[in-house]
């Protein structure tokens, strides 16, 4: 690539490839970290000159290379963000870990534009790093953010690249655990309500369901996408019931969707768990506010947020944390299954 290349066409990944180092190493050099070997430092600086790469941080004051601001980017609408207890738990965990640092957390709901305004703003050097939570296959603007600042993902990235850092829950095993619990209870006719299949979390929980069904040599039951919302769960339950007789048990991939599904079952005169056993996912406050209380798979959302903050702080301080941190789930038995 020639020296006439501009920032718009040269990415941090291209600099990393030219220098023969990881993306995080380039990020540390750009951030002024001393935790880089002399050989890597020379290779990165040479690649920056050859590609005419202009780091966003070069536009900042030479006296201070840090804003001490971090961005939480959520590619969802406000209704989903403020209505889902998962996000509150993740943000609480982040804040707890950041409290002892000098960083402040800024929230960006990046659904309306879609993401162009957020990506443009964050690419100006206004923050030192970003968290991305709940992203979909269509959220390509995240790539532009990741090219500008270090990013830690909440959940496995949609398109995982070398150098990406993420903190995820073992959703495959969680979905498997939920379905196997139903199988071990003697149920053989088991359906599922999935999360969005444009998201790794939705895909992974469905994979776990299918793994348990295949292992038990059972035929998969009816399923529908509930979009990780209560209304979506109710609509998905209608779709499941439209496919034939009600399954004797159903794995619902979030507590919010389970609440909607149980409301629809009740409206149809079907009792939980006598007619249809229901197991959810999250162990959010929703699980104990429905009747009957929800058997569910607990995921450590607070811990996920705290771990995400810890990983990003390590990156910004020049350390090299693990690329992937995977947290375990647990079965929480109550009354619905």
Q: Give per-residue pLDDT as tens, 230-259.
A: 999 999 999 999 999 999 999 999 999 999
pLDDT at res. 329:
95
More confident residue, 310 or 81: 310
What are the phi and psi torsion angles at 295 (to 5°)?
A: -70, 135
Helix, strand or coil, per DSSP, at residue 168: strand
Q: Is the predicted pLDDT of residue 335 greater than 50, yes or no?
A: yes
Confidence of residue 327 (pLDDT cuts 50, 70, 90): very high
Q: Which helix (H) or strand (E) holds 309?
A: helix 301-316
Q: Is the predicted pLDDT of residue 149 greater than 70, yes or no?
A: yes
Do 133 and 76 form a contact (C-beta atoms < 8 A)?
no
Q: Is the predicted pLDDT of residue 194 greater than 70, yes or no?
A: yes
d(CA 251, CA 331): 13
What are the phi and psi torsion angles at 196 (to 5°)?
A: -60, 130
Q: Is the predicted pLDDT of residue 139 greater than 70, yes or no?
A: no
When mean pLDDT is compared over 17-31, 93-107, 218-232, the highest value belongs to 218-232
Closest C-alpha to 322, from 24, 73, 100: 24
In the β-sheet with 324-327, what is the strand arrangement from edge to edge? 104-109, 69-74, 129-133, 151-154, 165-169, 324-327
Mean pLDDT of 275-285: 95
pLDDT at res. 31:
66
Q: Give per-residue pLDDT as tens, 42-96.
A: 888 888 888 878 665 444 433 345 678 898 988 877 877 787 888 889 999 999 9
Q: Is 200 exposed, middle or buried (0-12, 13-18, 19+ CB in 10 A)?
A: buried
The encoded tokens of residue 114 equal 């879609």
The full set of domains in the chain, from first to last, is: 12-59 (1.10.260.40), 69-169+301-327 (3.40.50.2300), 171-298 (3.40.50.2300)
Q: Is the predicted pLDDT of residue 3 greater than 50, yes or no?
A: no
d(CA 35, CA 29): 9
Q: Is the predicted pLDDT of residue 102 greater than 60, yes or no?
A: yes
pLDDT at res. 206:
97
Q: Is 133 exposed, middle or buried (0-12, 13-18, 19+ CB in 10 A)?
A: buried
What is the length of the chain? 337
When mean pLDDT is compared over 59-68, 141-150, 188-197, the highest value belongs to 188-197
pLDDT at res. 57:
45
Q: Point out the least confidently predicted range of 101-110, 138-147, 217-226.
A: 138-147
Q: Is the predicted pLDDT of residue 115 greater than 60, yes or no?
A: no
Do 215 and 241 form a contact (C-beta atoms < 8 A)?
no
When the pLDDT of each residue in the chain is averaged and rounded to a whole number, the result is 86
pLDDT at res. 68:
84
């Amino acid at each position: 690539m020639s020296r006439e290349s501009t920032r718009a066409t040269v990415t941090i990944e291209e600099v990393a490839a030219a220098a023969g180092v990881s993306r995080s190493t380039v990020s540390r050099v750009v951030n002024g970290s001393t935790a880089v070997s002399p050989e890597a430092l020379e290779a990165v600086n040479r690649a920056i000159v050859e590609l005419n790469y202009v780091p966003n941080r070069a536009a900042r004051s030479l006296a201070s290379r840090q804003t001490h601001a971090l961005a939480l980017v959520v590619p969802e609408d406000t209704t989903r963000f403020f209505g889902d207890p998962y996000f509150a738990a993740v943000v609480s965990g982040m804040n707890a870990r950041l409290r002892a640092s000098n960083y402040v957390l800024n929230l960006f709901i990046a659904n309306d534009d879609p993401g162009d305004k957020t990506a443009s703003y964050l690419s100006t050097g206004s923050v030192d790093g970003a968290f991305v939570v709940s992203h979909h296959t269509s959220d390509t603007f995240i790539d532009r953010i990741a090219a500008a600042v270090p990013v830690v993902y909440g959940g496995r990235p949609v398109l995982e690249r070398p150098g990406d850092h993420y903190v995820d829950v073992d959703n495959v095993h969680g979905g498997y655990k939920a379905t196997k619990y139903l199988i071990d209870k003697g149920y053989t006719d088991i359906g599922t309500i999935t999360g969005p299949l444009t998201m790794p979390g939705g895909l992974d929980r469905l994979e776990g369901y299918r793994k348990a069904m295949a292992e038990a040599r059972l035929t998969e039951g009816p399923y529908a996408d509930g979009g990780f919302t209560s209304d979506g769960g109710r609509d998905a339950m209608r779709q499941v019931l439209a496919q034939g007789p009600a399954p004797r048990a159903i794995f619902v991939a979030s507590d919010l969707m389970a609440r909607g599904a149980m409301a629809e079952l009740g409206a149809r005169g079907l009792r939980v768990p006598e007619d249809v056993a229901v197991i959810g996912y999250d162990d959010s406050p929703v699980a104990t506010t429905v009747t009957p209380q929800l058997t569910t798979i607990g995921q450590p959302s607070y811990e996920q947020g705290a771990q995400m903050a810890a990983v990003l702080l390590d990156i910004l301080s020049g350390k090299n944390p693990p690329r992937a941190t995977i947290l375990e789930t647990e079965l929480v038995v109550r009354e619905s299954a």
